[in-house]
Amino acid sequence: MKTVRAYFLLLTATLIIIFSCKEEKIHRATSDDNTPPKQPKAVTYKPLYGGARFYYDLPEDEDLLFIEATYKNADNKTFSFSSSYFVDSLDVYGFGDTLNYKVQLFAVDRAGNRSEPLDVTVKPLESAISRVIKSLDLKPGFSSFFLDWENELEQSINVYVDFKFNQNGKPSEYTSVFSSNLLKDRRFVEDLNISSTEPVKVSVRVSDMYGNTSKSIDMGQINLLEDIKIPKKGWALPAPNDSIGGEPQGFGDGLEGRMRYVIDDIIDRGDNLNFMHTHSRGRTGNTKDGNMPWNVIIDLGDYYELSRIVTVQRHSGGLANVSRGQYYRYENVGIYDIYIWDEETNGWSFVMRNKIEQPVGLSELEFVKKGEAGDMAYMYPDNPGYTKPTRWFRYCAVKGFGGNYTLDDANCLSEITLFGRKANK
């Protein structure tokens, strides 16, 4: 026992000495060290899109902290990049064209001393925003249009969408701005009250965080698509567990919920309890089978070609209606499938799967406004259009928002609204 205790005391004392030495060394390095490190050695580079990757050997300096690279853009603004001494390469971005750029490399120690600059001339590949521009794809939507693009470097960019059209004989011009750093993105310009016969002319500009801005790119002109909100007056819901084409209607009358609320054009606002609730009954209506999936099957009362769906979640956020409540989390549906009844095949035809994106960085009130507006999805997201004529529609809840869309924790829904056009049938 004494031996163990003695060993423990010796180990503790040793660690104290080691850390004391390190602290003294760091303190000495950050307080009275005025000797700059040597320059990086054996520097080479590889051109990148809008940048360059530098390779080098680290200088021999016991308190070396990082390697730094700087350059100035056309507006004489300096940009700096750094990489710790644990790695032997450094990426520099923000070059707006394929001209030669002078980059200065420094070694920096813990005291902040910088080596003499090492000047390296680099010639990058085409700029990052040029790559984004080449990937732009413009498509018409319903009372809207949208743009797809790819951003290989996932840099922060701004996309300026300038569009013009004539309305009631008068020219109108607008600009929408979208900020993004996603590898792939899609952004909509929505709620345009423009006839499908009136062309919309679109041009796009792209800028990055390094002060580079592209010229205006003419994307041509498009004609928007038109649809209407399908009237719910003729809709009907089969009874719970009634089978339509081998698929059972879900159970939605659990607890305070009622299935009929899903098609009554009234959303849940926290003070009216206007939502359906499966009470943890899945597809078969048996609680032993788990919460999901479950169906909402609707007889549309006539034949329609469907274009869009808007779903509204359960809110239950309190009487003041200013708190997030349950929007975009537990008990609500995060992923769902859409089916229509195809009379040619005499069966359910899969249309699409939609994942409702969970917003981030919103205030409580912003969550409420977004939740109340509902979440819109196209029947054919990549190429907007109409489904085959159908009288029967099936919404199949697949996953909730929990566990990054992996949990079967959704049992509520407030409203389903469909858009499209009357079928010639």
pLDDT band at 285 (very low <50, low <70, confident <90, very high): low
Same fold, 41-122 and 128-222: yes
Percentage of residues in the chain having pLDDT higher than 70: 91
For residue 316, is it left (φ>0), alpha (ψ between -120 and 50) or beta?
left
Q: What is the pLDDT of residue 318?
A: 81
Domain ranges of the chain: 41-122, 128-222, 228-422
Whole-structure pTM value: 0.80
pLDDT band at 22 (very low <50, low <70, confident <90, very high): very low
Higher pLDDT, 13 or 222: 222
Please give the CATH superfamily to which domain 228-422 belongs.
Answer: Galactose-binding domain-like (2.60.120.260)
**Average pLDDT of the residues in 348-370:** 95
CATH code of 128-222, in short, is 2.60.40.10
Q: Give the torsion sign (CA, 390, 345, 260, 262).
A: negative
What would the two tokens of residue 285 be?
A: 């209506």
Residue type, 219: M
pLDDT band at 34 (very low <50, low <70, confident <90, very high): confident
Contact 92, 70 (CB under 8 A): no
What would the two tokens of residue 292 be?
A: 């999901």
Residue 10 pLDDT > 50 = no
CA angle, residues 188, 192, 198, in degrees to nearest 5? 115
pLDDT band at 32 (very low <50, low <70, confident <90, very high): low
- pLDDT tens-digit map of 144-180: 999 999 999 899 999 999 999 998 888 999 999 999 9
List all residues 6 or more positions away from 187 whose beta carbon is below 8 Å from its beta carbon.
146, 147, 159, 161, 176, 178, 180
| Overall CATH class of domain 41-122 | mainly beta
pLDDT band at 384 (very low <50, low <70, confident <90, very high): very high
